[in-house]
Copies of this chain bind each other. A is one copy, B any other.
């Protein structure tokens, strides 16, 4: 059914040398002298036989798998709906492959079996972990980090000092809110992207508050409503804002998906965007630019997040110094038509 396996032994025989010599040549082992002719002969033999180094054997002998695990803890459906994960994975994959490593992918969701991370590490299957997603009580990761296991979080961990890469949610939310303030709005609502148990939700709310305070505007609790990732939750939240006796002239919605629901609700109330209410979103999902009017929003550098996270993990794995253990990337405000001057 299949051809016999090609090992260093076959290559050695064909080149008329010992297996050890083959290993030296193929690895360019330093402090070893091999005559140019022999070297050439071995390389030729390897090429002619289509030799490929056995991964398991190499890994066993060296103790390194040249592989990392990319684990996402978001509910798996998110993968199917949102392009964020795809962009992230793209970046991670590029950075890691570039360093000569491979990526094992796991969609663990939130029900990961206890000890799943440790098992990957202890079985020597991977050299490091890259984890994305909301981390609820992941004390396991703290233990691993303490043991010296290379790992990087994509996101902003609640506790501990785990190496992480994320956007600067506070600054981004502040930027979005300041945009509305600059447009002349004074009563600005806020709808969070998720419950405040998530650091991203908290941080974006903080940014909103900072912007208001910096501008000397009052913080009105009633103007702050909670979203929960879905567009439906945006419907609820916006309804609450619209029912206020003195309703806002603008709203910062900390998630484009949630904003979709909010926008629908505004229209159903017979109000116009941005005429009656200005909206600024967050995430810059692909459809943001196709809405009518286009959604002004905060763009996340999806691919770059992945690239940086991947790079940081590679550095950790290879023992190189990591300049910033907590990298925060800048976002950019994409101005379209959903937020306008308050006359």
**Residues in chain A within 8 A of chain B (CB atoms):** 1-3, 6, 50, 52-57, 59-60, 65, 67, 70, 76-77, 79-83, 85-87, 89-90, 93-94, 97, 102-107, 118-119, 122-125, 147-148, 260, 285-287, 290-292, 302-303
Residues of B contacting A89 in the complex (Cβ-Cβ under 8 angstroms): 79, 89, 105, 107
Interface centre among A123, A147, A148 (most CB of B within 10 A): A123
Given contacts A60-B60, A97-B107, 17 further A-B contacts (CB under 8 A): A2-B148, A50-B118, A53-B123, A56-B60, A76-B93, A77-B90, A79-B83, A80-B83, A80-B302, A81-B87, A81-B286, A94-B107, A105-B105, A260-B290, A285-B286, A287-B287, A292-B292
Q: Decide if B86 touches A56 in the complex (CB within 8 Å).
A: no
Q: Write the nearest CB–CB distance from A107 to chain B, whole angstroms.
A: 5
Q: Which of B1, B52, B90, B103 contacts A80 (CB 8 A)?
A: B90
- Chain B residue at minimal CB-CB distance from A3: B147
Residues of B contacting A118 in the complex (Cβ-Cβ under 8 angstroms): 50, 52
- Chain B residue at minimal CB-CB distance from A119: B52
Q: Decide if A56 touches B124 in the complex (CB within 8 Å).
A: yes
Complex formed: what's the CA distance from A275 to B4 in Å?
A: 67
- Chain B residue at minimal CB-CB distance from A105: B105
Complex formed: what's the CA distance from A122 to B2 in Å?
A: 11
Complex formed: what's the CA distance from A260 to B288 in Å?
A: 13
Q: Decide if A76 touches B94 in the complex (CB within 8 Å).
A: yes
User: How many copies, total?
Assistant: 2
Q: Decide if A147 touches B103 in the complex (CB within 8 Å).
A: no
Q: Decide if B86 touches A82 in the complex (CB within 8 Å).
A: yes
Q: Decide if A125 touches B290 in the complex (CB within 8 Å).
A: no
Q: Which of B3, B123, B260 contacts A52 (CB 8 A)?
A: B123
Q: Decide if A80 touches B86 in the complex (CB within 8 Å).
A: yes
- Chain B residue at minimal CB-CB distance from A89: B79
Going nearest first, the 7 A-B pairs with the smallest beta carbon separation are: A287-B287, A80-B87, A52-B122, A56-B59, A56-B60, A79-B86, A55-B125
Q: Write the nearest CB–CB distance from A95 to chain B, whole angstroms.
A: 11
Complex formed: what's the CA distance from A89 to B102 in Å?
A: 16
Q: Decide if A104 touches B102 in the complex (CB within 8 Å).
A: yes
Q: Decide if A82 touches B79 in the complex (CB within 8 Å).
A: no
Complex formed: what's the CA distance from A70 to B77 in Å?
A: 19
Residues of B contacting A86 in the complex (Cβ-Cβ under 8 angstroms): 79-83, 85-86
Residues of B contacting A70 in the complex (Cβ-Cβ under 8 angstroms): 105
Complex formed: what's the CA distance from A94 to B119 in Å?
A: 19
Q: Decide if B65 touches A60 in the complex (CB within 8 Å).
A: no
Q: Write the nearest CB–CB distance from A37 to chain B, whole angstroms.
A: 26
Complex formed: what's the CA distance from A2 to B147 in Å?
A: 6
Complex formed: what's the CA distance from A342 to B303 in Å?
A: 45
Complex formed: what's the CA distance from A122 to B57 in Å?
A: 13
A-B contact pairs, 13 of them (CB 8 A): A50-B118, A54-B123, A55-B125, A56-B57, A56-B59, A56-B60, A56-B65, A60-B60, A76-B90, A81-B286, A82-B83, A94-B107, A105-B105
